[in-house]
Amino acid sequence: MTSILILNGPNLNLLGTRQPDIYGAATLADIEQMCRDRAKALAVDLGFRQSNCEGALVDAIHAARGTHDGIILNAGAYTHTSIALMDALASVELPAIELHLSNIHAREAFRHTSYIAKVAVGVICGFGPRGYTLALDAMVDHLDRAG
């Protein structure tokens, strides 16, 4: 069975508690349930994790090799800073989709830079929690095409 890992970075554990104007009212647990429902409909296995630590995210990417077929990554603010996450994604040679709740290109200039996009097959941003299920659909489609 195809298996997809959804990995969430720093502060995303706070979703639904603060800044609902930017990030919406759904909690990360709500989003995980949406993803589990969608994964079931798509008949794929799902891993769903969050960490506030850059090294733990690197470790999770390394561990995905041989366990998962693709990675959907909302790296949070590490998107804009982390060469380590970029290198980790490149090293495991798994397809990755960069994901954001907000439209990072309509926000501060420092959010317009992404190290993750350089090694991703595509980027989804600006659709709120719905972006997670869009990313799952896109990853399944990508893996189907890649054969």
Q: Which residues are known to be catalytic?
A: 23, 100
Task: Identify which of 58, 107, 99 has the alpha carbon closest to the alpha carbon of residue 79.
Answer: 99
Please identify, among the stretches 45-53, 54-62, 70-78, 116-124, the one whose residues bind ligand CA2 according to the rule CB under 6 A: 70-78
Please identify, among the stretches 39-47, 50-58, 74-82, 138-146, the one whose residues bind ligand CA2 according to the rule CB under 6 A: 74-82
To ligand CA2, the closest distance from the beta carbon of 133 in angstroms equals 14
Task: Identify which of 84, 90, 94, 114 has the alpha carbon closest to the alpha carbon of residue 102.
Answer: 114
Rounded Cα gap, residues 5 and 62, in angstroms: 12
- By CB under 6 A, tell whether 11 contacts ligand CA2: yes
Contact 16, 28 (CB under 8 A): yes
Q: How many residues interact with ligand CA2 (rule CB under 6 A)? A: 17
Q: Which residues, listed in sequence order, are joined to residue 125 by a DSSP beta bridge?
A: 100
CB nearer ligand CA2, residue 7 or residue 101: 101
Rounded Cα gap, residues 143 and 135, in angstroms: 12
Contacts to ligand CA2 by CB under 6 A: 11-12, 14-15, 17-19, 23, 74, 76-77, 79, 100-102, 104, 111
